[in-house]
Amino acid sequence: MNLDLYKHIYLIGIGGIGMSALARYFNAKGKHVCGYDKVQSNLCMELESEGIQIHYTEGLEYIPKAIQEAAYNEILVIYTPAIPVENQEILYFTEKGFKLHKRAEVLGMISRQSFTIAVAGTHGKTTTSAILAHLLHSAGKQSTAFLGGISKNYNTNLLLAEKGNILIVEADEYDRSFLQLNPDVAVITSVDADHLDIYEDKADLHKAFKQFASQIKQKGVLLVEESIDIDFPVPEDGAKLSYSASTKADYYAENIRVKEGRMLFDMAALDILPGMTYEKKQEGLAFILPGIHNVSNAVAASAVACYLGLSCEDVEQGLFSFTGINRRFDVHINTERIAYVDDYAHHPKEVSATINAARQLFPEREITVVFQPHLFSRTQDFAQEFADSLSLADQLILLDIYPAREEPIEGVNAKMLLDLCANPKKETCSKEELLKVLEGEKLDVLLTLGAGDIGTLVQPIKHMLN
């Protein structure tokens, strides 16, 4: 299917982080891009300022005339699985005989024309992809990158190469999306159980990851985090390598410490591919994102960068100049009086990793966590694991569960989760009450965590704390 033949691109759910990157991609290619979303988010407003027409009321009369009158073969309709199937616009295009494409399918089509690096894993995809894109960009090696977050270095979720055909994509396991990809290089960062509304169980999830690994092209490379205990297939005529930030591996970090608000670590390689540039131990690499998990992401990105021909100096300079991603251990205030960090963590492993990273960066300080659980099903499936992770905080404030695409489940709520938590100070409150509750607290280090709409409170909280 030749994407160049389409004149109009219509996106249903255009404001999502992945969908908005596609909108920007096609807009940059000179296509007429427009779409629908339920909420006028900051991302939607940015897209509108870039000339993309968006409407926020569901209904056929709001679909632009150019779309309604265009020939059938001139329009590419893309939707996100987060939009319900009974959405009027989805029904309109389906009834008119259009083939609607999921975001992942279109990403798969784009990737077929490129040398593709796909980063998969239940956590770490966005950070690893963003670090890799920055390493290449800062070394003058261009790549197009679809990111699942806003890069602080470039203030966008899409990097476009003017020349060259390297493509970096996040290979999302939700809805089995990553099975649309046939990458040249694949990274697998983690395979913790998640999305059990899609997968039968952990074994079913692992089976999908094995299938993803089996789709790597001939002579391709698979890079896997050392602790993952799955026997992934080796790409035909290619290679399988490991990486780690906690043990020896083909690529690994050691001597990890914190100095002046940065992670410092040494990086070494036990086994590299023929022709790779990495041949020595590098000492004292400095990196902005705290936590062992983020050092691990940096090692993975560095290994791929070396495979693509970057020198040790390129890697060192790129890691140092990387400034982070919005809502990924995003430090908004850092003074001796008060520190405030916001993070997208929405899985028990991510929650504990973020709290532990905060302990590393702010030793011997009191940590208050505000957590907005994301999805009733995830809260139910991992209730005890969430409780164990959240209990790492000195004080806990739980917001109501953010439902996203789900209907409530009886008995699954913030109070149920709070009862399982062992924090010395803990309470629930509504999102609307949060600022008032925080005003009455003597805060030292504050973390706001969650993948729902808790992000809309970041600026009001920051304003209040300042």
Per-residue pLDDT at 458 = 97
Domain 330-465: CATH superfamily, name plus number: Mur ligase, C-terminal domain (3.90.190.20)
- Using CA atoms, how far residue 255 sits from 57, 245, 319, in Å, is 54, 10, 17
Provide mean pLDDT across the span 267-285.
76
User: What gap in Å lies between CA 114 and CA 167, rounded to an integer?
Assistant: 6
Provide mean pLDDT across the span 375-385.
96
Residue 375 structure tokens: 């999805």
Per-residue pLDDT at 219 = 95
| Confidence category of residue 275, pLDDT binned at 50, 70, 90 | low
Q: What's phi and psi for 297, nearest 5 deg?
A: -60, -40
Provide mean pLDDT across the span 7-34.
97
CATH of span 3-102:
3.40.50.720
User: What gap in Å lies between CA 462 and CA 190, rounded to an integer?
Assistant: 32
Q: Give the amino acid at 442.
A: K
pLDDT at 279 over 60: no
Per-residue pLDDT at 195 = 73
Per-residue pLDDT at 276 = 65
Residue 353 structure tokens: 């990793």
Per-residue pLDDT at 197 = 77
Residue-level length of the chain: 466
Q: Tens of pLDDT along 228-271?
A: 999 999 999 999 999 999 999 999 999 999 998 899 999 998 86
User: What gap in Å lies between CA 261 and CA 333, rounded to an integer?
Assistant: 13
Q: Tens of pLDDT along 195-222?
A: 777 898 999 999 999 999 999 999 999 9
| Confidence category of residue 81, pLDDT binned at 50, 70, 90 | confident
Q: What angle do CA 333, 336, 341 make, to 5 degrees?
A: 30
330-465 has the same fold as 114-321: no
- The answer to whether the CB of 225 falls within 8 A of the CB of 234 is no
**Closest CA relative to residue 180, chosen from 108, 119, 121, 125:** 108
> Mean pLDDT across the chain, nearest whole number?
94
pLDDT at 128 over 60: yes
- Using CA atoms, how far residue 287 sits from 145, 252, 367, in Å, is 21, 15, 23
The ranges assigned to domains in the chain are 3-102, 114-321, 330-465
pLDDT at 98 over 80: yes
**Closest CA relative to residue 449, chosen from 320, 358, 337, 322:** 358
Given 3.90.1640.30, 3.40.1190.10, 3.40.50.720, 2.130.10.10, which CATH number is that of 114-321?
Answer: 3.40.1190.10
Per-residue pLDDT at 230 = 96
Q: What burial letters (b/e) apply to 417-436, b meaning 16+ CB within 10 Å?
A: bbeebebeebebbebeebee
Greatest CA separation for the chain: 65
- Cα dihedral 442, 448, 453, 457 sign: positive
Q: Which residue has the higher pLDDT, 270 or 411?
A: 411
Segment (H or E) for 35: strand 32-36
Q: Tens of pLDDT along 418-441?
A: 999 999 999 999 999 999 999 999
Pick the range with the lowest mean pLDDT from 17-21, 153-157, 199-203, 374-378: 199-203
Provide mean pLDDT across the span 25-54.
96
Provide mean pLDDT across the span 303-309.
93
Q: What's phi and psi for 432, nearest 5 deg?
A: -65, -30
pLDDT at 133 over 90: yes
User: What gap in Å lies between CA 146 and CA 22, rounded to an integer?
Assistant: 8
